[in-house]
């Protein structure tokens, strides 16, 4: 009788512990979703950028991405999925707070340097499939780094980038 009682008690304790673990996991999931939810949106909602990334990814095959960007069979999935992330901001419905809801007829003009050209050529190829007008691109020269030819711009180094929050006095020496 005692052995049987011990087994029953063990099962109850184990069940309670499993329930606590499940509650902890659910709480962690809620916190994660809350931290990822876009501002002003309900929990579990996806912002328009993410929705467009998914729509773009559905239109492009792996073979197309390999051909455009030179990826090989051993290229990691992050690099393969990145072109869709680069392309999404070229669609007007990515920014409903600027263009309004369902503004697929808005023409987008994308300023970029020549190294970004493949991303936007790919975007032009799928715009009509997504119901958008083809994007247009203005290609510009590379901006030189603020430290000179050998430097590189970086948002993590405040002396290597110009921020939209910088004062005119801070920007002036870099743009002359």
Mean pLDDT score of the chain: 77
Residue pair 135/109 in contact (Cβ under 8 Å)? The answer is yes
- Rounded CA gap, 85 and 6, in Å? 57
54-57: long-range pairs with CB below 8 Å, 24+: 54/84, 55/130, 56/84, 56/87, 56/88, 56/123, 56/126, 56/130, 57/81, 57/84
Where b means 16+ CB within 10 Å and e means fewer, 118-134 reads ebbebbbebbeeeebee
Q: How many of the other CB atoms lie within 10 Å of CB of 35? A: 7
Residue 62 tokens read as 């792996």
Specify the pLDDT at position 158: 73
Architecture of domain 48-142: 3-Layer(aba) Sandwich (3.40)
HEC profile of 16-76: HHHHHHHHHHHHHHHHHHHHHCCCCCCCCCCCHHHHHHHHHHHHCCHHHHHHHHCCCCCCC
Q: What pLDDT sits at residue 36?
A: 44
Across 2-6, average pLDDT: 56
Query: For residue 52, how many other CB atoms are within 10 A of its CB?
Result: 23
35 — pLDDT class (breaks 50, 70, 90): very low
Exposed e or buried b for every residue in 67-77, given b needs 16+ CB within 10 A? Answer: eeeebeeeeee
Q: Give 5's pLDDT tier (boundaries 50, 70, 90).
A: low
pLDDT of residue 139: 83
Binning pLDDT at 50, 70 and 90, where does residue 21 land? low
What pTM was estimated for this model as a whole?
A: 0.59
Does residue 168 have a pLDDT over 70? yes
Nearest to 73 by CA among 84, 83, 57, 62: 62
- Under the banding of pLDDT at 50, 70 and 90, the label for residue 4 is low
| For the chain, percent of residues with pLDDT exceeding 90 | 25
Parse the chain into domains and list their residue ranges: 1-45, 48-142
Range among 26-40, 62-76, 108-122, 152-166 with highest mean pLDDT value? 62-76
Q: What is the pLDDT of residues 42-60, one digit of tens each?
A: 544 568 889 999 999 999 9
Per the structure block, which two tokens stand in for 135? 């994007």
């Amino acid at each position: 009788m005692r052995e049987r009682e011990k087994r029953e008690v063990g099962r109850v304790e184990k069940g309670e512990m499993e329930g606590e673990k499940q509650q902890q996991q659910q709480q962690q999931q809620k916190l994660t979703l809350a931290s990822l939810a876009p501002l002003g949106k309900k929990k579990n909602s996806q912002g328009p950028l993410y929705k467009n990334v998914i729509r773009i990814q559905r239109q492009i095959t792996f073979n197309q991405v390999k051909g455009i960007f030179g990826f090989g069979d051993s290229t990691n999935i992050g690099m393969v999925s990145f072109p869709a992330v680069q392309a999404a901001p070229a669609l007007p419905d990515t920014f409903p707070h600027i263009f309004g809801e369902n503004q697929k007829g808005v023409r987008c003009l994308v300023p970029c340097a020549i190294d970004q050209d493949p991303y936007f050529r790919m975007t032009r190829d799928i715009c009509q499939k997504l119901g958008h007008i083809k994007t247009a691109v203005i290609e510009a020269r590379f901006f030189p780094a603020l430290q000179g030819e050998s430097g590189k711009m970086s948002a993590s180094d405040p002396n290597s980038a110009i921020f939209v929050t910088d004062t005119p006095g801070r920007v002036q020496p870099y743009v002359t």
